[in-house]
Amino acid sequence: MQRHAGVAIGLAATVVTVLLGSSTSGHTAIASRFTYNEHLFPIFERQCGSCHVEGGVAPMSLLTYNEAYPWTQSIREEVLGLRMPPWKAEDGFGDFVNGHVLPAHEMDMILEWSSGGYPQGPRDQTPVATPSTADWALGTPTVELTWSEPFELDAGTSETVRYFVLPTDLGGDRWVTGVDVIPGSQAVVRHVSVYIDTTGQARAADEAGPEAGFAIGGFEGERPIAVWWPGQSAVKLETVGYALPSGADIVARVLYKKTWITEGQAFTDQTRLGLHLTEDRVGTIEHMVLRSPEEPNGRELVFSHTFDRDVTLLGLLPELAIEATELQIEGVLPDGSRQPLLLIREPDPGWPTRYWFDSPRSLPPGSQIEVTATLRPGADRETVPSLFAENAPVRLLLEYTTGAGAAN
């Protein structure tokens, strides 16, 4: 179902609410069929609760009525603007195994409730959130890693990026088929990207200073094997993986970011990574970074890459460091036919996301990946630290296998 269907339904509900409801004594008349206790809480817990929970990375909790109702207008605006939950891929233009989209009927409930008096519902049905547990989303990992000592985020630092080196010492080659993350300090761990380092560069940077980890500039990991943010669905593969040579280090890049609620507070973090590994040789995932021109042609940045061999495309990870209204990625086959891969409207650089196809895309020799970014009028370049050590306005990480390898 298209995302726009939910917006249309929600707008219709809003019109009905305006016609039926009126404001008396400064209070909105109850015109919503849906209540928080019966209808909205299950949506908020399932779709928003990984961030919007007490002590979470979002600035407010939505898991009790008293916490949620003061934010009804903001909730409505974020849902109508398709900004929350932060999944930007347009439904139907490429299909993804890790999608996180509000169904149309849930959007309808939220929009009607937020404009129809936001009733609480029966007090004897007041729901209670399921206690958060530090369980691995992908099940028990093969190896659990964390930094040797906690990292201290002082009260005066609002945002910073830190790299941590995690030796593996597995005694042989492995393939990484999945990566899970459990943040140590849920309130400030905004994003984690994970790399494999076979050069020793990250370990040298880490050993150069007395504190846990090191800052940007000491390591140029170009190809993350995992990206994580709260609410992102983790993916475990079966027939392909990332090569982890014997003696290689895992490097975790962590973005710590406070909200206005946590500003001025100090935090301690020791995030845990869970690696799912196999010793059996599987299809090896390869990477390629495509880069846009520095200057647009009118309001567009268009670039492409042609494959000279058979490729099985598994996933995409775009980055934008320029203001854009839309990013479209297509596969162009040798016969000229086009495959829709990814369409993002109003891309947000603050939520870098890897999009895993639910079915790998086979591209024969001569196929192209074509990228078109439509820019805002007078678009400005933005300072967005790249996960790929790239400076182009738009960059795209392709993940693929060659030959017979294919993802489940």
Q: What angle is formed at CA 182 by the lines to CA 181 and CA 186, rounded to 5 degrees?
A: 125
Residues in the chain: 408
Whether the Cβ atoms of residue 274 and residue 252 lie closer than 8 Å to each other: no
User: Which of the four CATH numbers 2.60.120.230, 1.10.1040.10, 3.30.1490.20, 3.40.640.10 does domain 286-402 have?
Assistant: 2.60.120.230
Quote the CA–CA distance of 80 and 91 in Å, as a whole number: 16
- When pLDDT is cut at 50, 70 and 90, the band that residue 128 belongs to is confident
**Do the two domains 143-284 and 286-402 of this chain adopt the same fold?**
yes
More confident residue, 101 or 265: 265
- Cβ neighbours around 23 below 10 Å, total: 9
Residue 192 has pLDDT above 60, yes or no: yes
Of the listed ranges 327-336, 384-393, 398-407, the one predicted with least confidence: 398-407
Average pLDDT over all residues of the chain: 84
Using DSSP's 3-state secondary structure scheme, residue 398 falls into strand
Alpha helices in 96-148 (DSSP H): 104-115
What is the share, in percent, of the chain residues with pLDDT greater than 90?
Answer: 44
Residue 218 has pLDDT above 80, yes or no: no
Structure tokens at 215: 């800052």
Nearest to 266 by CA among 376, 153, 138, 188: 153
* pLDDT, mean of residues 223-246: 89
Nearest to 342 by CA among 99, 161, 48, 112: 99
Sorted by where each begins, the domain ranges of the chain are 3-125, 143-284, 286-402
Whether the Cβ atoms of residue 288 and residue 398 lie closer than 8 Å to each other: yes
> What is the tens place of the pLDDT at every residue in 49-76?
777 877 777 778 888 888 888 888 888 8
Residue 24 has pLDDT above 60, yes or no: no
Nearest to 101 by CA among 90, 109, 113: 90
User: Rg for the chain (alpha carbons), in Å?
Assistant: 23
Whether the Cβ atoms of residue 317 and residue 397 lie closer than 8 Å to each other: yes
> What is the tens place of the pLDDT at every residue in 279-288?
988 899 999 9
- When pLDDT is cut at 50, 70 and 90, the band that residue 175 belongs to is very high
> What is the tens place of the pLDDT at every residue in 25-39?
345 678 788 898 888
Whether the Cβ atoms of residue 282 and residue 404 lie closer than 8 Å to each other: no
pLDDT at residue number 133: 63
pLDDT at residue number 14: 39
Residue 117 has pLDDT above 90, yes or no: no
Name every residue whose Cβ is closer than 8 Å to that of residue 302 and which is 6 or more positions away in sequence. 292, 370, 371, 372, 373
What is the share, in percent, of the chain residues with pLDDT greater than 70?
Answer: 90
Q: Which CATH class is domain 143-284?
A: mainly beta
H or E element in which residue 320 lies: strand 311-320
Could you tell me the pTM of the whole model? Answer: 0.81
Backbone angle region of 115, left / alpha / beta, with phi > 0 → left and psi within -120 to 50 → alpha: alpha
Give residue 67's Cα distance to chain centre. 25
Q: What angle is formed at CA 311 by the lines to CA 308 and CA 312, rounded to 5 degrees?
A: 170
